[in-house]
Amino acid sequence: MTFDTLDVTVDDGIATVRIDNDPVNAIDQEMRHELAEAVDVLREDRVRVGVFAGTADVFSVGADVGLFETAQDWTTAEFRSNSRVLGRAFDGLETMEKPVLAAIEGTCVGGGLELALACDVRIASPDATLGFPEHNIGLIPGLGGCSRFVQLVGPGTAKDLIFSGELIDGERAREIGLVERVADDPDAAAQSYAESLLDQPPQALGLAKRVVNAARDTDTQTAGVLESLAQSTLIETEDHREGLEAFRENRDPEFTGE
């Protein structure tokens, strides 16, 4: 599979998707479809962890403004159909039973930040620039910038930053819960993190992700049932048995995903 706006590589179980669409990594119509194809690559069995990254200067500025100019000639149905291409890609990242990391350097705004929100863990540089400036063209963040954003930072902060269009740096983003980690070299930090996850039991990671997402989206009792069911599945895996044996033998476990 070849890409024009992305650089997609798979190395020892880690799929790295680097946004490469000069000059500002704008999400144009071509990238929308290529992001959906990249998510399909992450779903492949050979991939254990996914990493999304940009360049040192820009993760992504979000949607190409020219795309909205083109959309002036679309019907509402056509606009919604085109939006679903990217929406399904973001949903795919959020729901797949694999960890997905975002390494954020430089500018990460609008749809670029919505892409990062669909990942599980965000690692940003201290001087990264994050936010939602959609009000400048009379729109709102429409692919997770409202719905996913509020789950991380709460309704007051979400509304404040969306209303004002204020752009914040990586340190402030960590303070409000928008990113989980800050590192001088987010790319290297994300790769190191991804490598460490390769030593973890894949099924346990995948089900932990699903249960945490369910706990976020539903009531505590329902989430607790899912948690118990996931545990009852994992207790029958070979990885669980390997973990117990390794503990008793005082050695590092070797998980296989079985």
Task: Grade residue 33 by pLDDT with cuts at 50, 70 and 90.
Answer: very high
Looking at residue 64, what is its pLDDT?
74
Tell me the CA distances in angstroms from 230 to 59, 85, 208, one per residue in order.
Answer: 35, 30, 8
Angle of CA points 88, 5, 146, to nearest 5°: 40
- Rounded to whole angstroms, the Cα distance separating 132 from 140 reads 8
Give me the residue label for tokens 């190395």: 11
Interval 107-116: pLDDT, tens:
999 999 999 9
Q: How is the beta sheet containing 168-169 ordered, strand by strand?
A: 58-60, 107-109, 129-131, 168-169
CA 69 to chain centre: 27
Interval 240-257: pLDDT, tens:
998 888 899 999 998 988
Say if residues 170 and 125 touch (Cβ distance below 8 Å).
yes
CA 28 to chain centre: 19
CA 131 to chain centre: 16
